[in-house]
Amino acid sequence: MSSFRRVFTSSVGTKLLIGLTGLALFAYLILHLAGNLLIFFGQETFNEYSHKLISNPLVVPVEIGLLLIFLLHVYKAIINWMGNQAARPVRYEKTEWAGHKSRKSVSSVTMIWTGLMTLLFVVVHLKQFRFGAWYEIGSPPIRDLYRTETELFTAPAWVAVYVLCVILVGFHLRHGISSAFQSIGADHPVYTKRLVVWGTAFAILIGGGFAIIPIWVYLTR
C-alpha cells in the first residue's frame, strides 16, 4: 500500500480535492450573489447588510478558511493541468471532438484559462472592495460600501472588466459544477443527467446575476 500522502496526489485524489473545494467555492458564490443583490434595495439596506457581515467576529476566520480553500483549488488545478499536459508529449496532427454523449465544450476545454483569469480578477476585486476605498456614513458610523461600489461602476471600463470577468466565472461553472459532482463520485441513473442541466442553469444564474449589478449601477447612477 502506498503512503497516505498519495491519497491527495493521485489522479483521483487530486480531482476529489479540486471537486470538493470547487463545490465549496460554488456554495460561497451563491451566498455572495445573494448578498450583492441587496444593492437593488438601496443604499441603506446594502450598507446595513455589509456592516452586519464585517462586524461579525467570525468573518475573519471564515475569510481565511475561504482563502485556503481557494488557494488549494488553484494549486491542485495547476499541478493537475501540468500533469495532464505531460501525459501526451506528442500531439495529434488532426483531432476532432467526439460529440454524441460527450460533454466537451468551450467551457470544459478552457477551465484552466477561465480559472486563471478568475484568480487575477479575485486579486483586483479584493483590492477594490475588501481593501478598497473606506467611506463612512450615519451615526454611529458604518462603512458606506454602497458608495465604494457606485463610484467604481461610474467608470465604463470597470463595468466592462467586471462583466467580462463574471461571465468567465460563469463559463468556469458551466463545466465545473457537474464535473465536481462527478469527481467526488456522485452518479445516479436519473440525477446525473439533470446535474449537467442544473450546473448550466446555475452557471448562467450566477454569471448573469453578478453581471447585472455593475451594469445596473452604471445605468442608474
Tell me which residues touch another protein (CB under 8 A): 1-4, 6-7, 10-16, 80, 83-84, 86-104, 108-109, 111, 175, 178-179, 182-187, 192
CB of 76 to another protein, least distance (A): 10
* CB-nearer residue toward another protein: 196 or 212: 196
- Name 142's bridge partners: 137
8 A C-beta contact, residue 35 and residue 149: no
* Among candidate residues 123, 155, 162, 129, the one with its CA nearest the CA of residue 143: 129
* CB-nearer residue toward another protein: 92 or 131: 92
* CB-nearer residue toward another protein: 91 or 139: 91
CB of 25 to another protein, least distance (A): 17
CB of 55 to another protein, least distance (A): 38
d(CA 10, CA 16): 10
Cα dihedral value 79, 80, 85, 88, nearest 10:
130
8 A C-beta contact, residue 18 and residue 183: yes
* CB-nearer residue toward another protein: 170 or 176: 176
